[in-house]
Structures are given as structure tokens and as C-alpha cells.
Amino acid sequence: MEKTKNIAMIVILIVSLGLGVLFAWFFWSILMGDNQINYAEYSECLLYSKHSKQKVDLTRQNNSQLVSATFRKSGATNKIKQFTANNLAFIKRCENNMLYQADPTVVTAFNQKKASNHFKTIADVVNGMTNNKFYPYQLEEMVLTLDEKEQLPFRNNLIAFANLFVNFFGLSVFQKLVYNIEINNNIAKSSTGNNNQVLAFTKLAGNGNSLAQCLAFTEHSLQAKMSKTQYEIGFHSTATNISTIVHEIGHAISNYAWVWPYNRIRFNSNITPAIGRCTPTKDKTLIYIRGFMHSPNDLLVRYLGTKVGISNNAPFQQQLAAWSFIQSGYGRTGGNAELFAEGFAQWLLTPDDQKALNWQILNEFYGTYFKNYYLI
Ligand SMILES: [Zn+2]
């Protein structure tokens, strides 16, 4: 009897000792976890375990600018001091491994979002965006600046885009986004002589206790030929005639999402004639509006990096990974805000036969993760 009791005690002792060690190990690994994440410096960028064996063709007539611009910029920033052969090989490998065709069921689900018709005409779209009675939304005027044969495709693409936007982000966001859209050829003058003239901009400025956001475009930025050329040299991510507009809306939704949800009511509220139309002057008014810690632009880079197995502990490699998802020299050289806008256009405007695994990840980011993260 006494012996059995002793054995039982010993067993209990051993088990509790084991449990104690286990708990200690458990808490230790949680405590130390942050410092011990092994990040991949480089990755094979293999996306999805099952996918088509067919690749899409993204060959352009002359996309040398895509690579050379990436190089040039990389030497210029403080953050990126040295751009090695390994870095370039990494981008190339990623680009190559991401080009398998996207899952057709995902493409179909995406296209179904185009089907429902909130808007049938440009006037409907203008009506859907308008949030004040002082400033114009010159979408119809934009159409009329184009050659006659370009007008109908432009019109149709713009309406399809507006429907897609509303189906992803909702009518109320569409209506809150900007207080003015205008054609302004003067914005290009400031950069005459430069090859990369200003085509358009999105301005977000303080307006008393609220924020005022608007878009301006040159007529040149709306030409189908311009979009096509910029795509072919690798500078823009899509060849579609409305690519500049979609790019700017990308900035607009990024700015909107960055604002804390309770403060979004102040976005484009109190619009009065005193605010003025969308001019290129910089407004440096300080305004106390709460925002998320990470901007959508930086979140995109972190997300894409993580998707190929590179943790937040390796921001430089995450940046390289993000570049390989988005085929845009401009996006790669203009900072993460331009990358976000170019990725946004690539997501919404890539033709079905060019939708690859990189598009599928962009679709997950913009269509789900971004929306959920910023509570849109
Ligand atoms: Zn931009």
C-alpha cells in the first residue's frame, strides 16, 4: 500500500515537472518569438500550390524602362543603397514564377462584380460621385476632349470601372471620395522639358476641421495612345485608356482608407466655394485627424512580401517582392503610394487573358484584405 502511494507520487512529480518545462518553453518561445523569426532573404515566389501550367504573355514591345527605371531609382534612395545582381535575379525569378494563369473561378467571380449596373451612363456616374453643389466632376467633358472614335470605348470603360468600384467598396465610399474632378492642362507646364510630364494628380488638403480631396487631369493624360505607349515601355501597369483615372482613384481610396473610420465623416464635408478648385498648390495646413498606423501603401508592400514568404523583418526584400508583383516602372520608382496606385489599376484593368497568379494575389489584397483591414 505504502509502495503504490510512493510510485503514484513519483509519477505525479515527473508529470508536473514535464508540464512545467513545457510551459516554460511555451512562454519563452512567445516572449522571444519576435526576435527569432527567420525571414527569407530571397524567395522562389511560388504562389498557390495548385495552378494552371499555362503562362500568360506579358511581353511588351520594349519594356526596358521597367528594369532600367528600377535600377536608377534604387541607387538614388537612402533606403536602398546597393542593388545587387542577386536582387535583380530575385525580381526576375518572382516575375517569372508569378505568370501562371490565374484560377478561372476567381476571374469569373471578379467579372461578376461588373455585371450589376449601378450606372448606365456617364451622367449616372457623375451623379453617384457628387457630394457638393459647388464644384464640377468633368467626366463628360473628358470624353468630349477625345477623338470621336475613342469616345465610346472610353465611356464604356469608365462606366464599367465605376460599377466595379461600387461593387467592391460601396456607393457611399464612391460618393465620399472627391469633391471635384477637373481637366487642367496647366498642371503639365510645371514640368516642361521633362519626359515624364505630370499627367494628373490627386490632392488631399486640410479644410478647416476636415479634409478635401480632388483630382485634376491634363487632356493628354486621357489619350488612348498615351496609355498604350506608357504601358509598352513598361512605365504603366496597364494599357487601358482609363488607366490614368483609375490610378488617381487608387490614390484617392488609399487616402480615404488611411483615415480612421470615425473620422471619415469629415472627408469632403463642409465643401464651400472658398475651398477652390483642384489646383497644384500645396496646402500645408495641419489637421488633426486620426489615421491608421500603417498607410495602405505600406500595407500593400508588407502583404505582398509576406505572400512570398518574406517577413516584416526584411523590409528591403519585401519591397523587391512587391515590385515584382506590379509591372510598372512608375510604381517601382515613385514610392509606395505610386506602387499602390499602379497596383490598383493593374488589379482592375488587366485583361482576362493576362490575369496571372500575381493578379490573383492583388485581387486578394485590394478586394478583401485591404477592405477588411481598414474597415471599409
Ligand atoms: Zn500617382
C-alpha cell of residue 40: 527569407
- Cα of 340 to ligand 1 centre, how many Å? 9
Query: 50 lies in a domain?
Result: no
| Predicted TM-score (pTM) of this structure | 0.85
Quick: pLDDT tens for 149-182. 999 999 999 999 999 999 999 999 999 999 999 9
In a domain, 214, yes or no: yes
Ligand 1 centroid, distance to 355 Cα (angstroms): 23
What are 60-88's pLDDT values in tens digits? Answer: 755 555 655 555 554 445 444 467 788 88
Shared domain check, 83 and 30: no
42 C-alpha to ligand 1 centroid (Å): 28
The rounded Å distance from CA 99 to ligand 1 centre is 25
Please indicate, yes or no, if residue 44 is contained in any of the structural domains: no
Please give the Cα distance from 16 to 14 (Å, whole number): 6
Q: Which range marks the domain in which residue 262 is found? A: 64-373
* Shared domain check, 68 and 17: no
Neighbours of 290 (CB within 10 A): 9
Co-location of 114 and 13 in the same domain? no
45 assigned to some structural domain: no
Ligand 1: distance of its center to the CA of 248 in Å? 6
| Whether residue 23 is found in the same domain as residue 138 | no
214 and 112 housed in the same domain: yes
Closest CA to 297 of 341, 247, 361, 243: 341
Same domain, 89 and 238: yes
Residues 22 and 153 in one domain: no
DSSP code of residue 241: T
32 and 71 co-located in one domain: no
pLDDT tens sequence across 271-330: 999 888 887 666 666 677 889 999 999 999 999 999 999 999 889 889 999 999 998 888
Torsional sign, CA 321, 298, 314, 67:
positive
Q: Are residues 239 and 129 part of one domain?
A: yes
Counted domains in the chain: 2
Q: How far is the CA of 201 from the centre of ligand 1 (A)?
A: 6
Are 2 and 128 part of one and the same domain? no
pLDDT of residue 37: 54
Per the domain annotation, does 159 fall within a domain? yes
> Quick one: angle between helices 224-232 and 148-169, nearest 10?
70
Give residue 238 CA to ligand 1 midpoint distance, Å: 14
* 1 and 89 share one domain: no
Residue 34: pLDDT above 50? no
